[in-house]
Amino acid sequence: VSARRRLQWLGVAAVAAGLAVALSGVPLPALRAREALAVLGAGAASLGVGYAYDRWLSEADRWTPPTPERGLRVPVPGDAVAGLPERRVVERLRRRAVAVLVRGDRSREEAEASVADGTWTGDAVAAAYLGEDLRLPLVTRLRWLVAPDSTAERVRERTVAAIRRRRGEGSP
Amino acid sequence: VSDSSPDAGGGDGDAPDDGRGPGDGDDGQPPDATSRVGADATASSRTDAPADRVTDHATGHWRGIGAVGLVLGGLGLVFGSPGLVLSGLVGAVFAGYAGAARPLRVRDGDGDPVIAVRRRVDPETPAPGDAVTVDVEVHNGSDGVLPDVRVVDGVPPALPVIDGSPRHGAVLRPGGRARFSYTVRAVRGEHQFDPARVVVADPTGAVERETALAAGTTVTCRPDPSPVDLPLRGLASPYAGRIETDAGGEGVEFFATREYRRGDPPGRIDWNRRARTGDLATLEFRRERAATVALVVDVRRAAYVGPGPDRPHAVERGVDAAGRAFEALLDAGDRAGLAALGRGIDDAWLAPGTGRDHRADGRDLLATHPAFSPVPPEAGLYDSLDPERREALRRDLIDRLHRRLPAGAQVVLCAPCCDPFPVAVARRLTALGHPVTLLSPDPTADDRALRALAGLERADRLDRLRRAGVRVIDWGEESLPAALARASRGWSR
């Protein structure tokens, strides 16, 4: 710290000396002084640009106040599933579809086959999403390319709705 | 609850009826917040380890102007323009001034804070839902001006701020004070305020010094649960009570007559029959017995789920339901106990019992024991274990609960069932001879596909349990009595 202090004082002294010279009106030796000043000025300017760049790059180390007034936030069930890979999400939805078919007096094999070939629901999107070797409609696939998040949500919503219909909930 | 795994806390040597948590009052008297807090929660604790930490921040507020000054001055020199040089000089002076700034002192030579925070809460023992006013006073005890003091009060995590703001900024002269106040909504539990975070900046704002000032304030909120009768199951204890058994004996309702045996009390002799036929017969009444019920609340981290902000989460609703059922059971003369299914299983346990002290102990346990806290436990060691070890710990947790249950005790398990564990608990306890009723507060939302998926998974879990002979009360948005009425319509005894 003391070294830094000394440097600071040196800087202050240099600025003061320069100011004194500039204001005193003493004529400087014309030629060399001009060139020396230009070099000095260029150095200072580039140092300034460097500073500005550094500031632009670096995050300011400011105090980040805590936010205690929000109250308690606990997770909503299902939100953690969103972080899983697509394959696992499909697997979990598929298990629900199979479960509802098994409850409707089908054997597990029949239920799995029915989900795999998409015959368990009349919704083509839901059938393709959970099925094997089935492709989503072309429009949906294009949409998935453009806006993957909202399209995935829409497709999953339709799948959930299809499962619910099989459970006997909601509108047919 | 400093331990991080369900089996932490060592053996279970304590006898089942020594189940009072360490947080309980010594004499059945609820510990009073006023005695702990004092008239005005004094400040500037010097022992709190985190409160002693001081962090400095170089904000870099003036680095921009320093850069501008250098560029302008440099260009001025290159092009020989005194105006530019002078304007650059202005920047340099600012930058130099800021660079020379030192953090202001927030602790004196002994390490004691020079700023004190005092906090006053009113009321200190609110009922759930009450508005609690918090008045905070910040006092500058140093002999220098503090030109920029910013305070964020340490509002307990479970208490939402409903009015005003726990933040304040002020200029404090030596000996000066600043006051601010805000309002929080009371939630069940014993809530410690965290230390207030205080930042003091020097006049230029170039350096900030951050510290934490403790003012040990506590708000204790005990609900006054209104009793709700849970439908009980047929198995009963040897104590007289309200479960109708299929055995004759003493009681109220006529059950059968049998031949007189020597020693039958004269009051139970069927004198009508004696008059009619001359035979001696004894009346038998339906024996009514007390139930022994353990109310078990799932308090694992996985149970801290809810449908959204400003809505009570599953543990809060589970504790509420357990509290109301506890009151009703004791009112009816049954033996009721309480348990936390989770890390607190070893000390948050109240063996089934009756009586006024027992009732007070139970209320106390639910209101203030850390295991039942409305704030989820921190993720700990347990969450980093491999799945097999976790599975073993889960089984151990069930065994531990089972060992504490008196033989034949029935279990009311309050759990949201958003993971498979409560299902395993219910099935295992059923297999071990404890009739289980699952009271499941529904924490799911269905505004998104995957949230709806969680709802489907939970519904399927509850279905599986119903098929396994567990009584299930699916408690949605409606009131608890309404949920009970709806569920019991679907039951056959």
Going by C-alpha positions, the residue among B207, B70, B203 that lies closest to residue A15 is: B70
CB B407 within 8 A of CB B433: yes
> Strand, helix or coil at B154?
strand
Going by C-alpha positions, the residue among B383, B381, B432, B385 that lies closest to residue B411 is: B432
Burial of B412 (0-12, 13-18, 19+ CB in 10 A): buried
Mutate: best of B77, B102, B181, partner A, most A CBs <10 A:
B77
> Strand, helix or coil at B144?
coil
What residue type is B207 in one-letter code? V
Q: Residue A1: its chain B contacts at CB < 8 A?
A: none
| Spatial CB neighbours of B399, under 8 Å, sequence gap ≥ 6 | none
Q: What is the pLDDT of residue B34?
A: 30
Quote the CA–CA distance of B92 and B243 in Å, as a whole number. Answer: 88
Burial B252-269 (b: 16+ CB within 10 A, else e): eeebebeebeeebeeeeb
Q: Residue B318: its chain A contacts at CB < 8 A?
A: none
Quote the CA–CA distance of B12 and B400 in Å, as a whole number. Answer: 8
CB B215 within 8 A of CB B43: yes
Quote the CA–CA distance of B196 and B152 in Å, as a whole number. Answer: 6
CB contact under 8 A, B460 and A38: no
Q: Rounded to 10 degrees, what is the CA torsion of B442, B447, B452, B453? A: -130
Quote the CA–CA distance of B341 and B380 in Å, as a whole number. Answer: 16
Burial of B451 (0-12, 13-18, 19+ CB in 10 A): buried
CB contact under 8 A, B458 and A45: no
To the nearest whole Å, the CA of A33 is away from the closest chain B CA by 11
Residue A43 backbone phi and psi in degrees, to 5 = -60, -50
pLDDT in tens, chain B (493 residues): 333 333 333 333 333 333 333 333 333 333 333 333 222 333 333 333 444 577 888 777 787 888 888 888 888 888 888 888 888 888 888 888 887 777 887 777 777 788 889 999 989 899 988 999 999 999 998 888 888 999 999 999 889 899 999 999 999 999 899 999 999 999 999 999 999 999 998 888 888 888 888 888 999 999 988 888 887 776 444 455 555 555 555 555 666 777 887 777 787 888 888 888 888 888 776 556 678 899 999 999 899 999 988 788 999 999 999 999 999 999 888 889 999 998 777 788 999 998 899 999 999 999 989 899 999 888 776 777 788 888 888 888 899 999 999 988 899 999 999 999 999 999 999 999 899 999 999 999 988 999 999 999 999 999 999 988 888 999 998 899 998 888 878 765 4
Quote the CA–CA distance of B142 and B114 in Å, as a whole number. Answer: 5
Q: Residue B99: its chain A contacts at CB < 8 A?
A: 8
Q: Residue A42: its chain B contacts at CB < 8 A?
A: 74, 77-78
Size of interface A-B (CB pairs under 8 A): 196
Q: What is the pLDDT of residue B255?
A: 66
What residue type is B415 in one-letter code? A
Beta strand B161-164 with B177-185 is: antiparallel
Least CB-CB distance to B457: which of A50, A76, A96? A96
Q: Omega into B441 within 30° of 0, i.e. cis?
A: no
Fill in the DSSP letter of residue B98: H
Q: What is the pLDDT of residue A44?
A: 85
Quote the CA–CA distance of B172 and B115 in Å, as a whole number. Answer: 10
Q: Could you give the residue ranges of the DSSP H alpha helices within B311-386?
A: 314-331, 356-368
CB B418 within 8 A of CB B454: yes
In 3-state terms chain B splits into helix, strand, coil percentages (rounded to 5) of: 30, 30, 40
Burial of A130 (0-12, 13-18, 19+ CB in 10 A): buried
Residue of B nearest to A99 (CA): B460
Least CB-CB distance to B313: which of A37, A74, A81? A74
| Cα–Cα separations (whole angstroms), residue A144 to A117, A140, A160, B424 | 22, 6, 18, 39
Q: What's the pLDDT tens digit per position in A45-99?
A: 888 888 788 777 776 677 788 888 777 888 999 888 888 888 899 999 999 999 9
Going by C-alpha positions, the residue among B247, B236, B347, B476 that lies closest to residue B6 is: B347
CB B469 within 8 A of CB B430: yes
Backbone conformation region of residue A82, classed left if phi is above 0, alpha if psi is from -120 to 50, else beta: alpha
Least CB-CB distance to A44: which of B57, B70, B96? B70
Other Cβ atoms within 10 Å of A147 Cβ, number = 12
Going by C-alpha positions, the residue among B350, B331, B290, B311 that lies closest to residue B441 is: B311
Q: What is the pLDDT of residue B442?
A: 94
Q: What is the pLDDT of residue A28?
A: 62
To the nearest whole Å, the CA of B445 is away from the closest chain A CA by 7
Q: Residue B197: its chain A contacts at CB < 8 A?
A: 65-66
Q: What's the pLDDT tens digit per position in A8-41?
A: 888 889 889 888 877 887 766 655 667 777 888 8
CB contact under 8 A, A51 and B455: no
Backbone conformation region of residue B293, classed left if phi is above 0, alpha if psi is from -120 to 50, else beta: beta
Tokens of B354: 């009756």
- Beta pairing partners, B295: B338, B412
> Strand, helix or coil at B183?
strand
CB B450 within 8 A of CB A78: yes
Q: What is the pLDDT of residue B289?
A: 64
Least CB-CB distance to A41: which of B77, B167, B449? B77
